[in-house]
Amino acid sequence: MPVLRTRVDPRSEVYAKNREVNLASVRKLQELLARARAGGGDKYVQRHVERGKLLPRQRVELLLDRDSPFLEIAPLAGCHEGGVVPGGSIVAGIGWVRGTACLVTASDATVQGGAINPSGLLRSHRLAEVGWENRLPEVHLIESAGADLPRQAELFVPGGGGFRHITRRSAAGLATVALVFGSCTAGGAYIPGMSDYVVMVENQAYMYLAGPPLVKMATGEVVDDEALGGASMHSRISGVSDWLAADEADCLRIGREIVGALGRDRAAITTGDPPLYDPDELLGIASADVRVPFDAREVIARLVDGSRFFEFKPLFGPTLVTGWAEIGGRRVGILANNGVLYSESAEKGAQFVQLCNQSSTPLLFLQNITGFMVGREAEASRQVRVQDVEAARAEAQLERLRVHDDVVSERDRPGEPGIRDARTTVDLEARETRMALANRGHPPPAQRQHAFAPCLSGASRRPRPDPVVTRRRLLPSAKLARPRLPRRR
């Protein structure tokens, strides 16, 4: 291949003049970039730091992999508008998180409390296009006051398109992760509220449509930030938050775990490392008396690789344990009964099944349930909506594996059409005492309060298999699991 030969003379006047003009342009560019990196100025940066918070660029740096490049997109948005900090009050670009290329945005709370102005909105739309066209997961580090109200006429209608974009991404299998570090009000609360995964920092993150002063003015109610929309409330009561982080570093760690689970190669290439605990101990964990519960996590710890389990919504709907693990090197989503199925537990289960469907993650059910709670309070809490988790499970185009680790209930008895439609089923059968109760047709007293008492069929009278064999049978099942192809309409 021929080599190009230069005819440029670095000693010429034209060369010197061009160089001088271009160096001046570079200096102007550096000044604008420095303004963007300075945020709201020394006063507001200092106030932010004194509250014990990280700056947005520090959060981005801690989220990204060590030595990961960060391609900032449109960092000078709005630089030609008077009185506007370049960048539109956000830091945004593409970087690598746990080996996965992600679109990362961070609110800059030092600029008008992270409120979005028209320049920031235009930048957000361009970022959304980049993420959509390149099928990138999005991670939002949020601390935003919502829309810049003096300019709301320019924001409200086009701003709604951003919320629609989040739902379209979810339907297309592109995850959106929201890490909430401070107060998010009105439009600032919609982004985490509509995201697939939400993490909030305890005693620091708040999310509500209207803050305490506006609530008092509108309704007369006096309420503090934590009770109105605090991280603990949203993690334990409303269920909007999926994880409660101890501090900002913990929030970023959880965010990295989420992205790591999303971006992993799901092909099983190893047999996986064994559990830390002996699977034979399952024989001593499952209660001989059906009236005595046991922790589903103890079962999970003896089935999955390395006893590693990344739990989803650990503080919400505690009677259903959900989360991700690996079996034989293959990632699976686990749903394990941990008591009576209440409406909030079913809501959590339905959301988890939808997330696994989005990422084509096979499902493993560890079933140990006697039915649903009944009574006035239960009905008032939408108990009938526990069918939501069943609807989500039926609609998911996923492979399902199933382990019965205690009582087989009426909803899951063998041969039930539409219930046992998994291609691979692994049964860990009930003990003889329970079979005897079923044969007599009289459920234990503790189960009579539930609407659906256990109804064991003849299949449940087979000998109880060795727990070690149960894990061995799960290994090839997990490896063979593949997403189901959608039906033609």
257-300 pLDDT, tens digit per residue, is: 999 888 554 444 456 788 999 888 888 888 777 778 889 999 99
Q: Which two tokens stand for residue 107?
A: 């609110």
Higher pLDDT, 387 or 175: 175
Residue with the bigger pLDDT between 383 and 306: it is 306
Percent of residues, the chain, with pLDDT higher than 70: 75
Ranges of H-type helices in 375-446: 376-380, 387-395, 432-440
More confident call, 478 vs 13: 13
Distance (Å, whole) CA 345 – CA 322: 10
Task: Give 436's pLDDT tier (boundaries 50, 70, 90).
Answer: very low
**SS3 state of residue 404:** strand
Can you tell me the distance from the alpha carbon of 222 to that of 211, in angstroms, rounded to the nearest whole number? Answer: 11
What is the rounded distance in angstroms from the CA atom of residue 309 to the CA atom of residue 333? 10
Q: Which of 214, 256, 237 is nearest to 343 (CA)?
A: 237
- Spatial separation of the C-alpha atoms in residues 348 and 242, rounded to whole Å: 9
Average pLDDT, the chain: 79
pLDDT in tens, 331-345: 899 999 998 888 889
- Which of the given ranges, 235-244, 395-404, 411-420, has the highest pLDDT on average? 235-244
What is the pLDDT, as a whole number, of residue 479? Answer: 54
Topology annotation, domain 39-261: 2-enoyl-CoA Hydratase; Chain A, domain 1 (3.90.226)
At residue 1, the pLDDT reads 76
pLDDT tens digits for 345-400? 989 999 999 999 888 888 999 988 876 677 777 677 666 556 666 667 666 666 66
Residue 208 has pLDDT above 70, yes or no: yes
Q: How far, in Å, CA of 263 to CA of 136, rounded? A: 10
In order of 203, 205, 237, 401, the CA distances from 223 in angstroms are: 15, 16, 16, 46
Over its C-alpha atoms, the chain yields an Rg (Å, rounded) of 27
Using the predicted structure, report yes or no on whether residue 461 has a pLDDT greater than 50: no
Q: Residue 144 above 60 pLDDT?
A: yes
Range(s) of the chain covered by CATH 3.90.226.10: 39-261, 268-480
Output the pLDDT for position 455.
29
Q: What is the pLDDT of residue 204?
A: 93
Q: CA nearest 328: which of 145, 476, 456?
A: 476
User: For position 252, what pLDDT does the model report?
Assistant: 97
Residue 143's pLDDT band (cuts 50, 70, 90): very high
Architecture field, domain 268-480: Alpha-Beta Complex (3.90)
Q: Which residues are CB-neighbours of 393 under 8 A, at least 6 positions away?
A: 353, 363, 400
pLDDT at residue 118 greater than cutoff 90: no
Check residue 68 and report its DSSP letter.
Answer: -
Which bin fits 359, alpha (ψ -120 to 50), beta or left (φ > 0)? alpha
In the chain, % of residues over pLDDT 90: 42
- 138 is written with which tokens? 């999005």
Of 485 and 122, the structure prediction assigns the larger pLDDT to 122
- Taking the C-alpha atoms of residue 297 and residue 339, their distance in angstroms, rounded to an integer, is 12
Per-residue pLDDT band for 62 (boundaries 50, 70, 90) equals very high
Spatial separation of the C-alpha atoms in residues 106 and 59, rounded to whole Å: 8
Distances (CA, A) of 412 to 142, 318, 372: 42, 21, 13
Is 70 exceeded by the pLDDT of residue 251?
A: yes
Encoded tokens for 431:
């003990």
Which residues have CB under 8 Å from 356's CB, separation 6+?
333, 362, 363, 396, 398
CA distance 300 to 467: 12
Decide if pLDDT at 73 tops 90. yes
